[in-house]
Amino acid sequence: MAQRIVYRLEDDLDSTEAAETIVFGLDSVSYEIDLSEPNAAQFRDVLAPYVAAARRVGGRRRAGSTGTGRKRGTGSPATEIRAWATENGYQVSSRGRVPAEVREAYERAHA
C-alpha cells in the first residue's frame, strides 16, 4: 500500500492556504511568517511608509526585484524555486514548504 504525505503551507494569521513566506526583522531579531496573498499584501502595505523612510543596512536586493519581495513572473517564489530545483536535479514536492537546503541552493545560484 502506498502512502502519500501532503504538506500544506498555512497562513499564520487565519489558517488559509499561504502563498509565501515573508522574512523580516525588528529590534535585531529575524522573523518568518507564512501568509496568503491578501495578507502578504496587507503586511507590505502596513510597513510601506516605514520602509520608505528607513535606511537599508544589510541584505541584498535580488536580481529582477520589483520592490515587493517577489521575483519576476506570475508564480509565487516557492513555485519558481520548485521549477528551478526540478531542472537542477533536486526532488521537491509540488506542495508544502520548500526544504531549506533547496532554498539555499537556489539563492546561491541566483546571487
> Which contacts of 21-28 are long-range, i.e. CB under 8 A and separated by 24 or more positions?
21/78, 21/97, 22/69
**CATH topology for 1-56?**
Wheat Germ Agglutinin (Isolectin 2); domain 1 (3.30.60)
Cα(18)–Cα(38) distance, integer angstroms: 10
* CA-to-CA separations, 59 to 12, 23, 33, 55, 68, in angstroms, rounded: 24, 11, 18, 12, 15
Between 9 and 70, the more confident residue is 9
**Quick check: 80 pLDDT over 70?**
yes
- Quick one: CATH architecture of 71-111? Irregular (4.10)
Per domain, the residue ranges of the chain are 1-56, 71-111
Measured over the CA atoms of residue 9, residue 64, residue 73 and residue 99, the dihedral's sign is: negative
Predicted structure pTM score: 0.50
> pLDDT by residue (tens digit) across 30-78?
999 999 999 999 999 999 999 999 988 876 665 554 444 444 444 568 8
For residue 46, give the H/E element and its range: helix 37-53
Provide the 3-class DSSP secondary structure of residue 12: coil
